[in-house]
Structure 1
């Protein structure tokens, strides 16, 4: 089946609850969305909202971070774990990641130093309740994955990756751990991995990744990270089998070199997304939004090139440190650099860049200004940069 790029855009954005945006209602809607896409990628940076919150604010009406906090740490319907890098996912998916936990038990770094204190840490948490690395006074430093760190932090993270601890709650970026058995439903703790073979696991995780985006190709890229033991040739072969079995539908997009795939269960999107029957609205996307996991894929369809420049030196950045894409209708029309002054509760829009060839209409300007007001409310900002300065920033030169 052959579709146009415009049709592909509408399929992707409709699946991602971005066409139209901000229609998801309440916590049940958030949970339903996360179950659909499998996971949301976690990142601790908080310049103007954390990545997971930024993902949800573009999709959920009147979203506030405490809605996600409640699902994670009070209702425990979601859990933090490793999927596509560090992520959060539905708690019922816990058994599917057993092989990650078993791998951590066998291959964790600095294991000899961690083993010396692991039992003590587990006993302390059992008696005292949820604890963080600051609640232990071990002085030893050990080599760790990103940099040398205190052995207590390494031990807590190791026990977490092994599945013996879970993150009970956070205070800012500080993590408090508790025994998994006290936080997880007993039936999930007892349940073994439903994927009994590596082939079953690969097919499950491939389908999960395609569902994370909605429509995707088989080319290598960041969206395929975290699938244990699967190389490029294995992935391509598995996808071919999944098309043959009817689990996936293969599509050709006009002007795109590689075929793309959608789950057969989502075939109704193909007809439903032939036209846009909603008024255009604006949405601001997270830098690690599921839609943006493969930047080459997005460029091939939307002709929008986005690079997250936080890891670049200032002199090497084309735009800025923490820049968010701006979606209007089915197109990326701009990008901007927001910074929240957390003490004064002021949203400062440092810069705004329109995409080439964009014509700013009165409707687009109104939609974007409403988007800015909504974004400020999500952040708890009491004001935005002065109206006069905002007008200058948004002016299309």
Structure 2
């Protein structure tokens, strides 16, 4: 980036713009299904899907944090209505169906990556199963991984040890020949892409240049600001070199501007931003307490969360207890513009069991904050299907 004086976005304002674009400043009210829910997913860009379910699955908690009328069956209904599709960004995700044409570039690049790496990483024989799997689906309809590979030796649970036909399914899905048509429990149901993705969506074939431009500009719109690497990583479609070229070209065209973002420690970091962002009024933030998924899009980039919020959400942090570490499913607690703590909780039958709350600096539980936290826990309990919230002795740390 150039050496001239850049507009400065103070840390509080940067947090406010960032959280507002992640739909975490306004009240989490409004319909939690149908088109309003699809609009939330479009605004976020994608929602990461994860199977771990200590309280609620990651995607359910992410959507619930924005629309607390949301319930898990609403997302499955969007998948069945073809308002969204499943594929990869930085990880497995639910993506708006309108974005599907740009995933053709990702399909091609994922195929090339798999062709390079998978022969070393996976059990042998999966490539020989491609035609048989496709023929089975074409003739007999959608399948799960349990429906293919009759007679093949089943290995362990690790992805490197899947039976060959299951690996073939994953390869064909990642490369775009198959699509996820449904979920049974949490098991993916695969079908031929042309039987899942609407014809009008399949009809558009953007050029590589169009998809690179879309991926970068759509990422910038959803983040507000970022380095070329952060913008590239949002959808994980373009290469680092393409991202740098796009930023340089967009800057020359006035589509982005260079700004300096004040970080939590007072230092500054140069980024590309939506033009005028540094001069725009910062969105207002209240004192609402929100419990977020560890995979929430606002915090999933751990390095950015630490720079912007001073919040180190890493599993290896040792807390002030002998031999105790924060688990992967200790949930961040957000209040207004900052993470104020993290909470260890788990669904246990009809009970939401709260085991510990660890405050960040300045995040201790005064009367008001504790009342807001307890209210949020009661709302989480309803999402999880729990009748009540129980607190372990000594849960306030």
Fold equivalence (TM over 0.5): yes
Contact (CA 8 Å) 1:217, 1:260: kept in 2 or not? yes
TM-score by length of 1: 0.84
Gaps of 5+ in 1: none
5+ residue gaps, structure 2, are: 1-6
CA drift of 1:382 comes to 1.8
Q: Deviation string for 1:175-204 (max 9, x for gaps)?
A: 211121111111222321x2343xx44333
Give the deviation of 1:210 after TM superposition.
2.9
1:5 maps to 2:11:
yes
Summarize the alignment of residues 1-397 of structure 1 with structure 2, pairs less than 5 Å apart.
1-27=7-33, 28-72=35-79, 74-106=80-112, 107-108=114-115, 109-110=118-119, 113-136=125-148, 137-140=150-153, 146-192=159-205, 194-197=206-209, 200-218=210-228, 223=233, 226-231=236-241, 234-254=242-262, 255-264=266-275, 267=276, 271-273=280-282, 275-276=284-285, 279-308=286-315, 318-341=325-348, 344-386=349-391, 389=392, 392-394=394-396
CA contact (8 A) 1:308 1:322 kept: no
Whole-Å separation in 2 of the counterparts to 1:42 and 1:326: 20
Residue aligned with 1:47, SS: coil
SS at match of 2:372: helix
Q: What SS is found at the alignment partner of 1:337?
A: strand
Closer, same or farther: CA 24–244 of 1 in aligned 2, 3 Å: farther
The superposition leaves residues 95-128 of structure 1 with CA deviations (integer Å, 9 ceiling, x where unpaired) of: 1011222345554435983343333322322333
Cα RMSD for the two superposed structures: 3.1
Deviation per CA, 1:257-300, whole angstroms, max 9, x where unpaired? Answer: 31233334xx5795342544xx4211111112111132222222
* SS of equivalent to 1:353: strand
Preserved CA contact (<8 Å) 1:105 1:162: yes
Cα distance change, pair 317–159 in 1 and its aligned pair in 2 (3 A): farther
Task: Report the CA distance between 1:65 and its aligned residue.
Answer: 1.0
- Mark the CA change 1:179 to 1:209 in structure 2 (over 3 Å): closer, same or farther: same
Q: Secondary structure at the match of 2:86?
A: strand
Tell me: CA distance 1:30–1:271, structure 2 relative to 1, closer, same or farther (3 Å): same
How many aligned residue pairs are there?
Answer: 377
Shift of residue 330, structure 1, vs aligned partner: 1.3
Q: CA 1:219–1:99 in 2, change beyond 3 Å: closer, same or farther?
A: closer
User: How far apart in 2 are the matches of 1:270 and 1:374?
Assistant: 37
Q: Distance in 2 between matches of 1:329 and 1:124?
A: 52
Deviation at 1:333, TM superposition (A): 0.8
Change (3 A) 1:284 1:223: farther
Please name the residue that 2:3 is paired with.
Answer: none
- On the 8 A contact 2:351/2:389 being kept in 1, the answer is yes
